[in-house]
Each structure stands twice: as C-alpha cells, then as structure tokens.
Structure 1
Amino acid sequence: MKRRKFIKYTLPTIALPSFLGGFNFRALAGGPILEALQRGACDPDRILVLIQLNGGNDGLNTVLPLDQYSNLALARPNILISESKALKLAYNPATGLHPAMSAIQNLNNEGRGKILQAVSYPAPNFSHFRATDIWLTGSDSNKFETTGWLGRYLEKENPGYPEGYPNAANPDPLAIQIGSVLSPALQGNVVNMGMSITDPSSFYNLITGSADPTPNTPYGHELTYIRLVAQQTQQYAASVKNAAASGSNLSTLYPATGNSLSDQLKIVAKLISGGLKTKVYMVSLGGFDTHSNQVQSGTGNETGSHATLLGRLNDAINAFTDDLKKMGKGEKVLTMTFSEFGRRIRSNGSTGTDHGEAAPLFMFGPNLIPGMLGNNPTIKSSHAVGDNVPMQIDFRAIYTTILKDWFCVEGSELVDIMLKTFNTLPIFNTSTATEETQPGLEDELLAPNYPNPFADNTKIRFKSQGEKVYLVIHDSLGREISVLANQYYPTGTHEIDFVTSDLSTGVYYCTMISGNYKKVIPMLKAR
C-alpha cells in the first residue's frame, strides 16, 4: 500500500487529539461520538454504482412539487398525474414521487435513499451528445475535456496503469461498464480505466496463444502496448469469471423479463457477492427522451412510456438494494442516478416534454443524511414555452462530495480530478463507517418511529444486544435537540417516548449508535 493510502485509511483512528482541536479530549473519551469518529476511517472496499438515465429525465413528473401543484396543472394539463396518486415522502409531504416508484418512496422514508433537487450546471447545453459529454467529463459547458471524471480519479489512485496491472494489490478491473461500449466517464489520459462486459461468461471467451516478437520500431512499440492491454484483459476476464462463478444473487425481487436495468444490476450484485474488488460500476437505462406519448391519455396520466421507465428503475433499485442487504454488502455500496438534462416546465402538444435544464437525481446507500437536498422548484401561474427549472445544485459539487466523503480523496487532489474547486454538500453523515453487520440485523435494532408524521410525541423503538446504546435527536441543521439514551440496556426490545410539544414543525433525525452499529431515521413533526 502506498504511504499516502496508508495515511488516508488509518489516520482518522490515530490522530484524534489534533483533529479535535480545542475540544476536551478526556470529556469525549469512551463516548459514542468519539467512537463513531474512530470508526470513520475510509473503507478501501467502497463501491460506487452509477445509473445513467439516457435521454433526459422529466424531473417534474418524477419528483412532484405538490406545494406547487395548482400552477403545475396550468403548465402541464395534458400530462400531470393526479395529486392524490403521488407518493408522499414522510419527511416532506409537500413532495411526492410518481406512483410507479413505491419502492424508492420506501427507501427514502427509511433513510436509505436521498433526493437531490434541481441538479444541473451553469449555461446548460440541450444537445444529448454534448450534455452527456459534460456530465461524464465534469467539464464547464464551454470547455471540451478528453478525460472523464472517474478516469481521472482512478488514474490518481492507480499511477502507471495499465503497466503492472493486474497485481496483488489490484487483482480485479478498476471499473466495469455493463454494456458493449465503455463510458467516457472512465477515460484516463492514456487509456480508458474500465472494462465493458455484457455478461461474465461471454466476456471470458477471449482468444489466447503465442505471438511473434515485436520489432524495435514505432509500430512495434504500439503493438507491444496493444498486446499488453490484451493480456491484461485476459487476466481480468479470469477474475470476473471467477467472481461470477462464486457469487450469487440472494434477492427474489429481480423481474424475470422486460427490465434491462434490472438485468445489469443483477450482474453487478453477483460480482460484488463473488468478491470482485472493482470500485466503480456503470449501468444504463434508455428511453427518457419523451417528446411525445410520455403519458397514455385517458388513464389519469399515470401510465405511458415515462411511467414504464420509472417503474423499471423502481423495480431494479428495489431488487438491487435487497440483494446487497441480504448478502451483507449494503454498507459498502453507494448507488446514484443521473441524466444529461431535465425537461421544460411546460408540456408540449404531443403529451410530452422537451429538453430542459435541471432535474433531481437519486442516491441510495449507507450513511446518507436522510431527506431531500434542495427545495421544490417554484412553478409560476404562467410560463413561456422555453422556461426551465433553474439549477440549485451543480452536479460537479456532487461528484466532489462523493470523491471526498465516500472515496476519501484528499483535498489537494480534488482540484486535479474535478478541474476546479467545488464546495462539498451535506450528503453523508459525519462518520461513514462501514463495518460489516449480520444481514438483516440493522432493521431489527432501530425501527421507524411511530406515529410518523407526529404532533406532540412519537415513540422510538430499538433493540439492545446488551451493549451501550446512544440515542440522540438532531434538527435539520445538525443541532443537537435531545439525548434520549446514553447507557447500557439489557438484551431485548425497548421503547422511548419522545415528547415534542415544544418543537417547531419540520424534519428531525434520530441517530442510534451501539457497538459497531449506527443508523439514522428521519422523523417529521407535522403540526
């Protein structure tokens, strides 16, 4: 391991006194907050799964601003779904999801999903090809880059690649694209840092054999390099095949047919189960360029091409997260959706929508701060044909946050990878520990509070394994509201009544820490 990586993965556990600065170290010693910080060392086995929604997803038909519904009905009279059919979010009843997204609603309500509103970039481009290129390279809209944001990251982490790879420290592909074409997001300065596969078995079907020596000429040097890459591909093919052979899918929720995204994520889950150390996976779902027939007229606008696509996304995410949880890998994997742009505020005359600016994206995984980042877009009573949802979040700030808080990239390298400085966002909890826990154990320790939403009080039920339990309530700004528990509890189920009559309405978060276990649940005080 390189010295820099050793420091990155171990420093948080050995440098706490200087990290805590002026805080009284003895006052925190042995406490749950310090224990959480000590567990916050970066896990080198973390994985990022990117889901590309090709075509430009209609955000206003995906995440509905219910507090703007009357004006939205004026702008989209021929495609808007019924307000009563929207799936409301427990932490924000002013926001609803498309009725095809019930599993994603549940993941968000349980604190295992997160919505980031109105994501785009300054001076957006509305060409599919150029906009996709901007998202994959992380460039400004007026600049053209030849490397991808993940390619630059993987290049920093693996200098000299592909020479010397695979090796004992990196025996597996650095990144995998499920499909026939490698994403520009994985492009490095010299080579693409990933490999594309359609399925592990066919990928292994590569030609091997002896070859004549190469001449000492420019052509010979190029041929030597080509052979190196081919040999490396063969070696990686073996590791992929072995992982597929030893891995298994434990979820029974994958659709049998008709869902290509589910098929791709099923492969990813199987490779993760088989122990493949690949850090980045990319999958995709096409069809989101819904200029016409976005909804099926006469059905309440709840069916149609967009509903079908969102249903496929919902079912694929549901099965994938269930699979990861059952195999005990859910704490290692962060999944994120993205699309090259959103759609305009007004619908068109073909029961569709045209290319627009900002749109929401989804995240699923461990240690996400529950809730929605950003606000519902404001919809006016009258909009011009070309009006767009304005940007609230630059997508490159999301990339920066993933690199820093998920992959623990050092600040000095962030600018090199992201090409300029972007602020990080409050996406992850302070501690991103990812210790393995017994599959299914998490949901048994801290249950969702009830009732939720609540008025003057709510009950918090948890299970103790005979260890010390720390329960704390924070508001949406991260301020501590109340410590409900900080003591040892006997093995079994316990319940605490949290009185909230003096609190303002809004979203609150209950955090439980016990041993190696940590979970945060969102709670909504409605009145």
Structure 2
Amino acid sequence: MKRRSFIQSVPVVVGGVTVNAYGSSPMLSAMTSALYETDRVLVIVQLSGGNDGLNTLIPLDQYATLSLKTVRENVVVQESKVLPLAGTGGKTGLNPGLTGFQKLWDEGRMSIIQSVGYPKFSYSHFRATDIWMTGADSNEVLNSGISGRYLAYEYPNYPVGFPNSTMPDPLAIRIGGNVGLGLQNNGVNMGISINNTKDLLNLTGSVFKDPANTATYIGKELAYIREVQRQTDKFGDAVELAASKGKNLSTLYPKAAANGAPAELGQALGNALSIVAKLISGGLKTRVYWVSTGGFDTHATQVNAADHSQGAHTNLLKGVGDAIYAFMDDVKLLGLGDRVAGLTFSEFGRRIVSNASGGTDHGAAQPMFVFGAKVNPGILGVNPTIDPASTANSNLPMQYDFRSVYGSILQDWFCVPDTDIDSVMLKNFQKLKIMQDGNCIPTSVHDHNAAAGENLVYAYPNPFVDRTKIKFESKGGHTMVQIIDNQGTVIDTLVDTYLAPGKYDISCDLEMVPTGIYYVRLQNEQIQQVKSMLKVRG
C-alpha cells in the first residue's frame, strides 16, 4: 500500500475516541441524503496569527492620534502612503500592500465590516481560533464549527450514504492542513483536506487481496483502514476528475520561485486559491473551501523602521491582496464570478498601542473583508475613535459580532431561512446587509428535498457519556427511530409505531457500547433523516 499526500482527512475524525469506519452495506447505502441544490460557493481565507486591523484598514480621520508617540508612532503607516478608499471622503484607507483589495473596492466587489469581534474576547491563539470557528461564547466550548453545522443542516444524513449520485463530491475542502474544527460537526469531518490536485493517493496493492478477519483486533483495524481508504478514494476520484476538467485563466497569481528568482509574495495562498478556481470550473459541487496563510503574529519588527509602508506586515497583506485579486480575476474570466463569495478572518485583532519592539500585541476587534460580485459594496460601521490616552491594555471596541457576519452570509448567500438560522448559529444575532438582495431561490425547493434542513431528529446532550435523549418530530403515520453504529448495524430500535403529528422525546441508553460515533435514524413515511451523535469517556 502506497500513501501519498493528496487526501489528508476523511469524514471520520478521531479526537480522543476510537472510531470504526462506517460501512458500505446496502442498508447504509439506502440512507441517501436530502439535498438543497445551489451552485454557490463560499471561500474562507484564514489569516493565522492575529491581524493588526489598525494598520490594515486605516482610519485616516484618527491619524493625528494614531501617530502620537504614546500610541503607535513606531508602526503607523505614513499618511501619504495609505491607499485611499473612494467614496469615504478621505477618512478611510488601506495598507499600501493591499492594492488588490483597493481594486476590488473600486470594482464594487468588496464589502468591509468594521471592528468585528465578540464579548469577553480571548487573547489565546488556540482558544480565540476555536471561538471564531465554532461561534461559541467565550465561556462555552462547542464541538462543531459554524460551517460544519451549516453543512450538517443542508446534508443531514452525512456521512451515511456519501458520496452518492446526487452529491458525489466533498461537501467542503480544506486546502493544506487538517480539516479543522470549523468544518466539523460533533466528531464528524464535513469535508476533506487536500494539498494539491496532482499527487494522488495510491490505494491499490496487496492490502485488498485477502479478506480481513474481523474476529481479531488486527483484522478489525485492517477493515477500518480499508473502509477509510475506499471512502477517500471515492472523493479523490471526484476531485481528480474536476481538476482534469477545470482550468485557470488568470495570469495574475503570484509566481513561484523560478530561474533564481524568489517566489512572489502570496504565492502559496495564490496557489491554493488557483486550485479552488480550477475545481469550481471543473464542476465540483463542493460548497465551502477553506484556505489559510500565516505570519500575522507581529509582536516585533512589524514595519520597516525607516519606512513604515514597508516591512513584514505590509508584505503579508500584499500576499493576501494579490492572491485574492488574482482568484477573483480568475473566477470572473471563467464565468463563475456570480457564484463565488469569500471572506477573511483572523483569530483576533491587535492592541491600539504598539509595543517597544516595533510590533503590536494580541488584541480584540478587527475588520473583516467580504469579496464577490454579489456583495453589497461599501463599509458597515464607522471608523473607531482612538483615545489619545490609550494604554498598552487598550483595545478597539466591538461594533459587530462576528457571528452576525457568518449568519448573514449563510442567510443571504446560502439561503438558510430566518426560521432555521438559529439552529446553525445556535443563538439569534443581528442581520447585516452584506450580500445583495435577490440571490435566494424559493424555500419550497428546499422543503421539497425530503426536509433536508428541518431538524427533525437530534440527540441532546451531544456529545454524551452513557445516556442521552432523542428528540424527534413526526409528521404523522408510521415512525421509526433507530440507533446505528458505524458498521451500519442497528443496535437499538427506540420507536416503531404509528404516531400522531407532533414532537416527541425518548431516553437512549448506550452505556454498554464503546465510545465513538453513532447515528440516530428517523424514518417517517417518505421522510428520512440521520444525525450523528458522539459518545465520549466520562
């Protein structure tokens, strides 16, 4: 068996729990998903490290205060070098590295949201990243990401019966790195991770020539590996086919190192985004793509001491701006511009006052940039007011909760109805006009697809230790609720009777089964829904 680096993650995740791969039995294959067809794509660009928002989106009307020696004189970009944003009356500009963003702004393909954050922010890279990925409050821990919950909402039976003829492709793709918490839902990866579209996983060889003896521990492990490989290979085939059919038309992507010349700024990010464009143009039906670039933890030497318009931070932003502009140029040339939207985020912003090392320390609020042909161009919010008496502990106050940004995009881009958005975001948040009106198809199409987005069955609590409750809704008629393991074996039938329309709950005792991922399956006349549930150690 020869493994290479094409697929890095598959729909089953191991997080301190031993999980058997789900089987491909006829019973499992029959659990096909209910899908809500749309051709829209969201690209998430993660800026790892904590981006300095005040040197990214620069409030020129606060420049006199920013340039004070006691504020950020040693890092603030010279006013004459700031890129002006047309229509702001000279009050707001961009870092000189963001010429790509300035072009998107001038073309009406950029929406900017000022001072985005959340209450009681965290200064920890790890905790803050988890909060931004999951939509959790600062005092709670969630086991599912916002994007993961959205994908589970649209494809409630996933991963059972996937890939299938209706959805043969990954729901989400992370390019580089692990899938990550943002694309997980209660222990299940809702997507895959790839490095590129050329170095394919070789799953052939003697490992498949003899049947695994599942009566032994080693045999069970071998069966698990084989099933994961089969599932991975199916998604790999779809990605490979899309890559072979797709293409890139833009010549603007940052160039790789060649003939002794170094790689251009943003080359790695541009390469990842070029893969996204190629896969979309090749017909892949994947909803969410996730790419990332690092280096934003600029505690020291953030700028060139002799010229603050140059240096480490400007170089990072130039790479981001050039890569994203090339990607947007590509999808436009490919005729895909109306289908693609994207956003940037970092785990936190940075403090108002710079430090003595020519850098900035972990902070709170930050600007977010949403790009695409269907955004509402402009700025949401106002320039932050910078207090001349700011101290080393001073942070930008939040104007918008980041969950309002995500929720609004899910509603107006992926057309999640008002009645359902709280089940994805877990709370009610302010609706923002980030996307243009008229993008959504009627919800009746969604309803037609076997109640794909209705939350008809779920376990609570989830994850659980030994016992949980199964809450479900019957539309009336014959109703069956079953618990199924990852091999497709029915381990308990909780309900098998005729019920009146209504909502019900029933206790579920799984004390005697191993930890891992299980599924609760609801069958009600023509409606079928499967949800994952995670048993963990106490």
User: Percent of pairs identical after alignment?
Assistant: 51
Question: C-alpha displacement at 1:267, in angstroms?
Answer: 1.0
Q: Where in structure 2 are the equivalents of 1:104-115 lying within 5 Å? A: 104-115=101-112
* Contact 1:197 1:203 (8 Å CA) reproduced: no
Question: C-alpha displacement at 1:132, in angstroms?
Answer: 0.3
Give the aligned residue type for 2:189.
N
Q: Where in structure 2 are the equivalents of 1:73-472 lying within 5 Å? A: 73-74=67-68, 75-92=71-88, 93-207=90-204, 209-210=208-209, 212-213=211-212, 215=214, 227-257=226-256, 258=263, 259-299=267-307, 301-432=308-439
* Whole-angstrom distance in 2 between the partners of 1:294 and 1:141: 28
Question: C-alpha displacement at 1:223, in angstroms?
Answer: 6.7
**Paired residue for 2:62?**
68
* Contact 2:34 2:155 (8 Å CA) reproduced: no
Question: C-alpha displacement at 1:98, in angstroms?
Answer: 0.6
* Whole-angstrom distance in 1 between the partners of 2:334 and 2:137: 40
* Contact 1:367 1:431 (8 Å CA) reproduced: no
* Whole-angstrom distance in 2 between the partners of 1:51 and 1:384: 31
- Please, what is the CA RMSD of the aligned residues? 2.2
Secondary structure in structure 1 of the residue aligned to 2:322: helix
**TM-score, normalising length: structure 1:** 0.72
**Cα deviation code 1:302-361 (max 9, x no counterpart):** 111101100100110111000000000011011100000000000100110000000101
2:47 paired residue among 49, 53, 66:
53
* Whole-angstrom distance in 1 between the partners of 2:275 and 2:59: 35
Structure 1: unaligned runs, 5 residues or longer = 7-42, 435-527
* Whole-angstrom distance in 2 between the partners of 1:374 and 1:178: 32
Secondary structure in structure 1 of the residue aligned to 2:189: coil
**Paired residue for 1:462?**
none
Secondary structure in structure 2 of the residue aligned to 1:201: coil
**Paired residue for 1:464?**
none
* Whole-angstrom distance in 2 between the partners of 1:278 and 1:143: 30
Question: C-alpha displacement at 1:49, in angstroms?
Answer: 0.3
Inter-CA distance 233–3: structure 2 relative to 1 (3 Å threshold)? closer
* Contact 1:162 1:229 (8 Å CA) reproduced: no
The total of aligned residue pairs comes to 397
Inter-CA distance 399–221: structure 2 relative to 1 (3 Å threshold)? farther
* Whole-angstrom distance in 2 between the partners of 1:344 and 1:132: 17
Give the aligned residue type for 2:393.
G
* Whole-angstrom distance in 1 between the partners of 2:218 and 2:405: 43
Give the aligned residue type for 1:69.
Y
* Contact 1:204 1:241 (8 Å CA) reproduced: no
* Contact 1:204 1:238 (8 Å CA) reproduced: no
Relative contact order: is structure 1 or structure 2 higher (C-alpha 8 Å, sep ≥ 6)? 2
Inter-CA distance 415–81: structure 2 relative to 1 (3 Å threshold)? same
Structure 2: unaligned runs, 5 residues or longer = 1-30, 257-262, 442-538
Give the aligned residue type for 2:232.
T
Q: Between Structure 1 and Structure 2, which shows a larger proportion of helix residues?
A: 1
Question: C-alpha displacement at 1:414, in angstroms?
Answer: 1.6
Inter-CA distance 396–217: structure 2 relative to 1 (3 Å threshold)? farther
* Contact 2:349 2:363 (8 Å CA) reproduced: yes
**Paired residue for 2:12?**
none
**Paired residue for 1:514?**
none
**Cα deviation code 1:165-212 (max 9, x no counterpart):** 111110111100001311210111241111110011224434463452
Give the aligned residue type for 1:110.
E
Give the aligned residue type for 1:91.
G
Displaced runs of 4 or more, over 6 A: 1-4, 216-223
